[in-house]
């Protein structure tokens, strides 16, 4: 899985767990719908920390909690660079 896809998977997973649509998440987090759509569709590969912070807060998490998940913790930049 690509590094940017990890954030998308995390957002989708948290939305599914909480029964929140991506559209609703955008409204609740005060993020432009197009910004969140671009992240989720993989157009934006490196979301801004401020955007991720807003998403995390909407889920009732700190940014550190939002970023602390197995797939991201196990991600290897070295392996990603060799597969490019």
Structural domains of the chain, ranges and CATH numbers in brackets: 3-76 (1.10.260.40)
Report whether 35 contacts 23 (CB < 8 A): no
Report whether 66 contacts 56 (CB < 8 A): yes
> Can you tell me the distance from the alpha carbon of 74 to that of 16, in angstroms, rounded to the nearest whole number?
22
Q: Residue 80: enclosing H or E segment and its boundaries?
A: helix 77-82
Confidence at residue 41, expressed as pLDDT on a 0 to 100 scale: 95
pLDDT tens sequence across 6-64: 999 999 999 999 999 999 999 999 999 999 999 999 999 999 999 999 999 999 999 99
> Can you tell me the distance from the alpha carbon of 9 to that of 25, in angstroms, rounded to the nearest whole number?
14
What is the pLDDT confidence band of residue 81, given thresholds at 50, 70 and 90? Answer: low
Confidence at residue 83, expressed as pLDDT on a 0 to 100 scale: 55
pTM of the model as a whole? 0.85
> Can you tell me the distance from the alpha carbon of 29 to that of 41, in angstroms, rounded to the nearest whole number?
18
């Amino acid at each position: 899985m690509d590094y940017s896809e990890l954030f998308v998977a995390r957002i989708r997973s948290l939305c599914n767990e909480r029964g929140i649509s991506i559209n609703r998440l955008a409204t609740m987090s005060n993020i432009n719908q197009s910004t969140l759509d671009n992240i989720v569709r993989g157009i934006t590969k490196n979301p801004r920390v401020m955007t991720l912070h807003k998403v995390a807060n909407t889920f009732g998490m700190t940014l550190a909690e939002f970023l602390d998940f197995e797939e991201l913790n196990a991600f290897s930049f070295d392996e990603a660079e060799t597969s490019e």
